[in-house]
Homo-oligomer: A and B are copies of this chain.
Amino acid sequence: MLLSAAIVAFATAARVHALWPLPRSLSEGTTALRLAPAFHITLAPSVHGAPADLYEAILRTETQLWTDDLGRLVIGRGAGDVSAFEAAAHLSELTLELDAGSTVLSITEEAQKPIEQRNEAYTLSVPSNGSAATITASSTLGLFRGLTTFGQLWYEYEGTVYAVNTPVEIEDSPAYPYRGLLLDTARNYFAVSDILHTIDAASMVKINEFHWHVVDSQSFPLEVPGYTELAAYGAYSPQMVYTPSDVETIISYAGARGIDVLVEIDTPGHTAAFADAHPDFVACNQARPWADFAAEPPAGQLRLANDTVKEYVAGLFSAIAEMFPSSMVSTGGDEVNTNCYDQDPETQALLNATGLTLESVYDDFTAATHGALVAAGKTPAVWEEMVLDWNLTSLSNETIVLVWISSDDVKAVADKGFRVIHAASNYFYLDCGAGGWVGDYPAGNSWCDPFKTWQYSYTFDPLANLTADQYSLILGGQHNLWTEQSSPSNLDPIVWPRAASSAEVFWSGAGGNVTSALPRLHDVSFRMQQRGIHTIPLQPYWCAIRPDECDLNW
């Protein structure tokens, strides 16, 4: 049912203008419509007691309609539309309505619900005769998604804001409930303003999860109440931290834009930064040669056989659960290096004293950290090795598993009955293809070469290799920015508009066509530019304003 709706939508793609992600059901006309100077967005009585974040979204939308100033991406940038829009009706009103019986919560509260409970569906109707447009939904989050779509209908030419494709009738809802973007703020630091800016862009393409890989072996910038020594000693500098107030700012900014924050405290690997405050907690800390002990420098892993460490980390996750309202928290679990523990005298002494194996203490450690999260009402998320490389009885099947190494691994995770988020390096790693960064290595290239083009990501099939009864295990997917070679300097151009490709795959479903998508993605990119996001150009401008003319066989 969901898939067939997506196919209907893609079949009409030739007439679709700037909508991204493509609505699951869409009909468009060919009549122009002008935005009236007095245009305003109103709330129907059904939205009685509307939350502040909905009012804010309305005001932002009203402003952006007049400030986007996006010319149509055709020769003349709208000059050819003048006769059409001069004869067009004026739209004065957009009404937002909630379906009867809907509870009025804030966008933020809706966005932070457990993933299977979120309701992002909406309908949008824009008549061509100037009578009021309407968005209906069962949640403020659905209304917000509808506002985002509404904002993509409009172009500007010499002061007139107009649409070219009315009447518009849209029924829309996501194919997958999880559409994310990962940012690593540990390899290089990003200011809060950079994160907010990225959330703005993500929200434009209906991404609903900010996966915040906040700490790693290189730095621990997160100030966690009760555990502040980790950032005090492990952050790059006292300025390069995220205070609890910063975290609140990010969470509320994201929530108001329909985005939940999935925080990750990667354990027990990737934890050398814990050693700055607690040297006793970390095995193989900065051990040499690092390549024998870790995937990248510095080496260092939590001594998971040590009960003090285990209890400390469980307590840390309890504190994290208090900081982050999301229903999900990631405990990491990637790239645990067994040699680090094999060579660590303390870990070996503890294993010898108890007769336990490394796997069994990892299981105990996981029981403790996941237990702390479950006690706080959270669902743990982990990287794929936790289920594919280790036999951890403590991992409940409620655990959400992110596949990163290869999309080929998805089937094995699903076969074990776990829910999956697609995040595979072979499709969704934004850092690949930029050469190696390890020193003393002139021939070094990126380990995950080649560069993952938007076109390639866009052809991803979330259900490949799975049986029909496994489809419901697929929650969605995300692009990932690991930041060994990224900073605020290249954040926008390395992410945008590429990350919009997965946002559409996981909203609209598989089956999109790069050829019809390209003009729409140009539109995404240009609209982001108008809002201050420094997207890369997908093509020469000559091509951008001549849809199809730079296609391979044109």
Contact = CB atoms under 8 A, between A and B. Distances in A.
Nearest to A553: B289
Interface in A465-495: 483-490, 492-494
B541 A218 contact: yes
Give the oligomeric copy count.
2
Nearest to A459: B442
Interface in A411-457: 433-446, 449-456
B484 A540 contact: yes
Interface stretch (A207-215, A259-267, A530-538): A530-538
A444 B237 CA distance: 42
B445 A453 contact: yes
Interface band, chain A: 35 or more
A543 interface: yes
Most buried by B among A440, A494, A515, A549: A440
B433 A433 contact: yes
A535 B443 CA distance: 22
A301 to B, nearest CB: 16
B438 A450 contact: no
Contact of A552 (B237, B434, B440, B553): B440
B440 A297 contact: no
A448 to B, nearest CB: 12
Contacts of A122: none
Nearest to A454: B435
Given A489-B492, A536-B489, A439 B297 contact: no
A536 B297 CA distance: 19
Given A445-B451, A450-B433, A535-B489, A540 B438 contact: no
A550 to B, nearest CB: 5
A244 B248 CA distance: 52
A458 B487 contact: no
Given A436-B453, A450-B435, A550-B297, A537 B289 contact: no
A298 B537 contact: no
A529 interface: yes
B453 A552 contact: no
B289 A438 contact: no
A152 B543 CA distance: 43
A194 to B, nearest CB: 12
Contact of A455 (B441, B451, B514): B441
Interface string A492-534: 1110000000000000000000110010000000000100001
A438 B551 contact: yes
Contacts of A486: 536-537
B541 A188 contact: yes
A236 interface: yes
A515 B438 CA distance: 10
B535 A438 contact: no
Interface in A397-415: none
A458 B440 contact: no
A492 to B, nearest CB: 7
A303 interface: no
A485 B538 contact: yes
A278 interface: no
A322 interface: no
Contacts of A553: 289, 291, 440
B441 A529 contact: no
B554 A290 contact: yes
A485 B543 CA distance: 11
A120 to B, nearest CB: 28
A187 interface: yes
A187 B489 contact: no
Interface of A: 77, 187-189, 217-219, 236-237, 288-291, 296-298, 433-446, 449-456, 458-459, 483-490, 492-494, 514-515, 518, 529, 534-543, 548-554
5 contacts: A188-B540, A291-B553, A433-B450, A441-B552, A442-B453
Given A217-B542, A439-B554, A485-B537, 11 more contacts: A289-B553, A433-B450, A435-B453, A439-B550, A440-B515, A440-B518, A442-B453, A442-B456, A444-B453, A446-B450, A484-B540
